[in-house]
Structure 1
Amino acid sequence: MSGPFGETRTRVEWNHALIAPDGHVPGLPPGWGSARGYLLISPVMNGAGGPRFCQYLVEGGEGSETHCAAFGLQRLVYVLAGTATLDGDTLATDDFVYFPADDEYQFTAPAGAKLLVFEKPYEPVEGIEPPTRRTGSLADAPTEPFLGDPDAMLSTLLPIEPGFDMAVNVFNFKPGAALPFVETHVMEHGLFMRAGQGVYRLGDKWYPVQAGDSIWMASYCPQWFVAMGKSPASYVYYKDVHRDPLGFSV
């Protein structure tokens, strides 16, 4: 145990949550064999109607293996550390794979592997082909300055196409770089701090954050970030995209 008794940086509010590692309790959805991990964000948080996705960490080891997500769920796996194996092929640190709903495969995570996983029910749209499996690496992802700021570089891991109803991106900030304004939008976010530290504004509250923290932001939660300290800050984040919030198909 670290820090004073009875204290934690974790906060769960009606439109956002900060989940700090000091309170992690092991637990994973079914289907990962004997893997150990932590379910960080899920609909049972129940804020603002509850998150519409799941975000969790998987720690590799003997028996850490999965073959599919639950029925109807698409899944993106990002390798935070170590290596993993997909159908016999090796995935290295900062590689990722997107699995469409009801895809089947053999994915193993040996000792030393650390995975970040996002899962979301796929929302089909009439006349639009659903996406197929995609693999890639952060090093090869399209990257550009965010709104022209070279100190805040945004990498998009998945194609920006209407077949995808989820996006996963990586933001890299130099010390002192910040989002240019407080964002308020229809998309919700799941976020994992992969490096560095900073301050996140969520709603009307301000939180120091650091590597290993997870954040949930509900739709329309005001949000802003600034990188602090002497080293760059980086986070992986999810958002829902390309779908009518009323549930209608175009």
Structure 2
Amino acid sequence: MNTRTSVKLRHALIAPDGHVPSSFPGWENATGYVMLSPGMGACLSQILITFEKNGGFCHFDEDEHEHAIYLESGSCTIHRPNEPDVELGPTGFAFIPAETDLRITGTTETRITLFRKIFEPRHDLEFPPAVFGHASEVADEPFMGNERARLQALLPIDPRYDLAINIFTYQPGATLPFVETHIMEHGMLMLDGQGIYRLGDDYYPVEAGDAIWMAPYCPQWFAAIGDEPASYLYYKDIHRLP
């Protein structure tokens, strides 16, 4: 049997053909597929969440973990104690700060990518507030002046936040301008199209549905190929000294 999945010391590509479901206490009619986790050496978890036909919910306890949510398809409702419920549709996103009891309900069409990490507080900064929106309403900007490679920042660029969630869209043939090597860790989901990703010294064909992990200092580069634009959702840690 063949698969494009590859898990190495400093990076990983998780293709959909190898997804294995998990069930968790406190979840009802909801399934988690853990794409990335500390078990592979990452400092974050990236989880694909789906729901059964008649709907269900997933629950995350009030603890030190913060959560960022992106709705790939369908709709969902975000519930927090003593706060109004928030409804999200396709391309909806949310940031839920640590120390929040969080429940997400969805239906059979609902497909969510969730990033989960331990919040790094600073004594001189307030907790970051929750954020809700839809990527379809977020303006994109040329990346380093390249009109064919455009970036959408879904969360505020604010030092209270210790993570960023962005969408990067490339026209066919567009590339990252150089091989990046940096302290920031990435968790990623290919949303549309296809391309070639360099991770370390390896080159991988990637397509919609693939999850990717890049450890700090893993050399990385991307080129969009094919006839359609390629886009990916990605997490990175920011605003904290190592």
Short-chain TM bin: over 0.9
Name 2:172's counterpart in structure 1.
Answer: 175
How far is the alpha carbon of 1:8 from its aligned partner? 1.0
1:16 corresponds to which letter in structure 2?
H
Distance verdict in 2 for CA 1:115–1:20, change over 3 Å: same
Structure 2 CA distance, aligned partners of 1:228 and 1:36? 32
Tell me, yes or no, if structure 1 residue 191 matches structure 2 residue 188: yes
1:156 corresponds to which letter in structure 2?
A
| Matched ranges for 1:63-142 at <5 A | 63-69=55-61, 71-87=63-79, 88-142=85-139
Identity fraction in percent: 47
**Residues 28 and 39 of structure 1 are in contact (CA less than 8 Å); yes or no, is this contact kept in structure 2?**
no
How far is the alpha carbon of 1:65 from its aligned partner? 1.1
If each structure's strand is expressed as a fraction of its own residues, which one has the higher value?
Answer: 2
Query: Secondary structure at 2:172's aligned position in 1?
Result: coil
| Unaligned runs of at least 5 residues, structure 2 | 80-84
Query: Secondary structure at 1:22's aligned position in 2?
Result: helix
Structure 1 CA distance, aligned partners of 2:23 and 2:212? 18
| Unaligned runs of at least 5 residues, structure 1 | 1-5, 246-250
**Residues 28 and 56 of structure 1 are in contact (CA less than 8 Å); yes or no, is this contact kept in structure 2?**
no
Name 2:33's counterpart in structure 1.
Answer: 38
Distance verdict in 2 for CA 1:220–1:28, change over 3 Å: farther
Q: What is the TM-score of this pair, normalised by structure 2? A: 0.93
Structure 1 CA distance, aligned partners of 2:230 and 2:112? 19
Distance verdict in 2 for CA 1:29–1:144, change over 3 Å: farther
Tell me the matched-pair count.
Answer: 236
1:183 corresponds to which letter in structure 2?
E
**Residues 54 and 118 of structure 1 are in contact (CA less than 8 Å); yes or no, is this contact kept in structure 2?**
yes
2:43 maps to which of 52, 60, 63: 52
1:64 corresponds to which letter in structure 2?
G
1:187 corresponds to which letter in structure 2?
M
**Residues 69 and 75 of structure 1 are in contact (CA less than 8 Å); yes or no, is this contact kept in structure 2?**
no
Any idea what the Cα deviations from partners look like across 1:77-100, whole Å, max 9, x if unmatched? Answer: 110011112244421100111100
Query: Secondary structure at 1:176's aligned position in 2?
Result: coil
Distance verdict in 2 for CA 1:236–1:69, change over 3 Å: farther
**Residues 75 and 119 of structure 1 are in contact (CA less than 8 Å); yes or no, is this contact kept in structure 2?**
yes
How far is the alpha carbon of 1:181 from its aligned partner? 0.3
**Residues 62 and 102 of structure 2 are in contact (CA less than 8 Å); yes or no, is this contact kept in structure 1?**
no
Name 1:223's counterpart in structure 2.
Answer: 220
Query: Secondary structure at 2:231's aligned position in 1?
Result: strand
**Residues 77 and 104 of structure 2 are in contact (CA less than 8 Å); yes or no, is this contact kept in structure 1?**
yes
**Residues 73 and 120 of structure 1 are in contact (CA less than 8 Å); yes or no, is this contact kept in structure 2?**
yes
How far is the alpha carbon of 1:63 from its aligned partner? 5.0
User: What is the root-mean-square deviation of aligned Cα atoms in Å?
Assistant: 1.4
1:160 maps to which of 157, 162, 173: 157
2:50 corresponds to which letter in structure 1?
E
Q: What is the TM-score of this pair, normalised by structure 1? A: 0.90
